[in-house]
Amino acid sequence: MDELDFLKCVFIVLMVAFHLIYIGDRYPYAKQLVYTFHIPAFLLISGYLVNLAKPVREFLRTCWWIFVPYVLMESGYVVMSAFLPVRDGIDTLDVPTFMNKLFLHPLGPYWYLHTLMLGSLCAYGVKWAGRYSCLSDTYRQLLLLSAVFALVSVVFHLAAPSSLFYYGGGIALRWSGLRFTDFFRGSWWSLPVLALLAVCPAHLDRFTLAGVAITYLAISVGLALFSSLPKKISRYGLLIGRNTFVIFVFSPIFTLLSRGMVPWFRFEPTGMLFLAVALCFVLTGCLGMAGWMDKCHVSRYFWGKARMLQGLSETE
């Protein structure tokens, strides 16, 4: 669905923008607003797109090829955080701390992949159990899934309750049989309502009714933008949106490297010039690294695919 690819583009660009510490520190309120909806929107889309109808072996293979880049990148991030000035880093690097961060409480942005795998396995287990029990009814399965998610997040603290709430919302939407764009409708009227909610700091919490409304409205505005843009422009958004996994995995490397460019842009007080250059640097770097891995036949060992970088069809 082109609409989903475009939404993923919008939200991954916002993620990269506010992972740039220079921008996040300069515009803290904007960062708080974006963090209210961009991760929930990604989780909704991920929940909607997860394929729970796959055979067990194929489903586990899909999870495995999320696990492999997760382990490699999270391991590097944990080790790096012990020696470099990383926010929320660790003071000492030992085996118990390393294993805790890798398997239970991830450090840095890769918690998203951890939550994605955990939520997918829980949902697949519930769906599988429903085939052989009285839980064949969709509503009963959703109730059981909610209970499992509550157990995982509230009791065992393996994921944030808000993250599993939005991920489960995407799954529920998929199980309902509705298309994503039947539930989330693009409208420019969502923009002034979003602005009204955004001016109140108390609303900037993703796990409140206001946060849910802000997420819905942000998706609505994104869909309206997609339908309004000329195709020659939106096609570049589709290119980015189809490679969000690649960008998500590699972006911490390039956002860290972009810190070295900050002194070059001190003359421009708004930080927008730095933002534009840094975004191009990060996105190009991530896509370039994926292309290099494809060309050198490394992708099959990292992603489980001979070719990971997604392009556009000739018709687009």
With cut-offs at 50, 70 and 90, classify the pLDDT of residue 87. Answer: low
pLDDT for res 183: 94
DSSP state for residue 202 in the 8-state scheme: G
Q: What's the full length of the chain, in residues?
A: 316
Contact 229, 10 (CB under 8 A): no
Read off the pLDDT of each residue in 107-132 and give the average, rounded to a whole number: 88
Q: Is the pLDDT of residue 15 over 80?
A: yes
Q: If you average pLDDT over every residue of the chain, what do you get?
A: 90
To which residue do tokens 């955080």 refer?
81
DSSP 128-183: HHHTTSGGGSHHHHHHHHHHHHHIIIIIS-SS-HHHHHHHHHHHHHHHHT--HHHH
Residues 6+ apart with CB under 8 A from 139: none
Say what percent of the chain tops pLDDT 90.
67
pTM of the complete model? 0.90
Distance CA 113, CA 56 (A): 20
pLDDT for res 83: 77
**Which residue has better confidence, 314 or 170?**
170
Read off the pLDDT of each residue in 11-17 and give the average, rounded to a whole number: 95
pLDDT tens track for 286-312: 999 999 999 999 999 999 999 998 876
H helix count then E strand count, the chain: 15, 0
With cut-offs at 50, 70 and 90, classify the pLDDT of residue 28. Answer: very high
In single-letter form, the type of residue at position 269 comes to P
Q: Is the pLDDT of residue 65 over 80?
A: yes
Say what percent of the chain tops pLDDT 70.
95
Contact 152, 121 (CB under 8 A): no
With cut-offs at 50, 70 and 90, classify the pLDDT of residue 117. Answer: very high
To which residue do tokens 């039947």 refer?
182
pLDDT for res 314: 42
Read off the pLDDT of each residue in 242-270 and give the average, rounded to a whole number: 92
